[in-house]
Amino acid sequence: MAARRRFGRVRRLPSGRYQARYLGPDGLDRPAPGTFASKTSAEKWLVRKEAEIHDDQKKDTSAAGGASCSTPASVPHRWPSPTGCSRQS
């Protein structure tokens, strides 16, 4: 059995190309802007997208000075807070 990805999904389309999708920090399912000729290319795109999202979250917290929790309430629980703050309910 293949190992499960920790970020995103890749599926083979009837055309033989591959589609990459991921669950964004806002909770919406987002597809890649295009399809890929190989599964490896789709997986590499997901790795880059995950890093981009992580970097954007780090920039947001450093711009706030890191003094307060800037994670919006709409962010799903499975996304770790880059500041280490826990969400208040």
Q: What are the residue ranges spanned by the domains of the chain?
A: 9-62
What stretch of H or E contains 40?
helix 39-63
CB 38 within 8 A of CB 14: no
Please give the share of the chain, as a percent, with pLDDT higher than 70: 64
pTM for the complete prediction?
0.62
pLDDT tens for 50-84 read 999 888 877 776 666 654 455 555 555 555 555 55
Query: CB atoms < 10 A from the CB of 46, how many?
Result: 20
Length of the chain: 89
